């Protein structure tokens, strides 16, 4: 999955500041950081942009098959 450069910058800034998420510069939607998702302790299977879990765990959690796994 290719993440736009602006979103990666916003993600990195949010993580450096200890924030749980950031507002996507293109959609205006809240996107959770990988640090927050990892701290939760499990993959929710929702197809989070910065999911820190491996593709097998994403599949077990019920990630929709039409979404490309994030590695």
Question: How would DSSP label each residue in 8-50?
Answer: HHHHHHHHHTT-SEEE-TTT--EEE-HHHHHHHTS--SS--TT
Query: Mean pLDDT lowest for which of 19-23, 52-56, 65-69?
Result: 65-69
Give pLDDT, residue 58. Answer: 94
Work out how many domains the chain is built from and give that number: 1
Give CA–CA dist 63/55, Å, rounded: 9
Q: Is residue 24 part of a domain?
A: yes
Residue 6 is encoded by which pair of tokens?
């602006």
Rounded to two decimals, what is the model's pTM? 0.84
Q: Is residue 71 part of a domain?
A: no
Residue 1 is encoded by which pair of tokens?
């999955």
pLDDT over 90, % of the chain: 80
Q: Is residue 36 part of a domain?
A: yes
Give pLDDT, residue 2. Answer: 78
Give pLDDT, residue 67. Answer: 73
Instruction: Tell me which residue range forms the domain holding 11.
Output: 5-60
Q: Is residue 67 part of a domain?
A: no
Q: Is residue 68 part of a domain?
A: no
Nearest CA to 11 among 51, 47, 46? 51
4-27 tens-digit pLDDT:
899 999 999 999 999 999 999 999
Q: Is residue 22 part of a domain?
A: yes
């Amino acid at each position: 999955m290719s993440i736009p450069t602006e979103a990666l910058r916003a993600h990195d800034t949010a993580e450096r500041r200890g924030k749980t998420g950031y507002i996507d510069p293109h959609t205006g939607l809240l996107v959770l950081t990988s640090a927050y998702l990892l701290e939760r302790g499990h993959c929710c299977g929702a197809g989070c942009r910065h999911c820190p879990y491996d593709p097998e765990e994403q599949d077990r959690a019920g990630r929709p098959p039409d979404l490309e796994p994030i590695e």
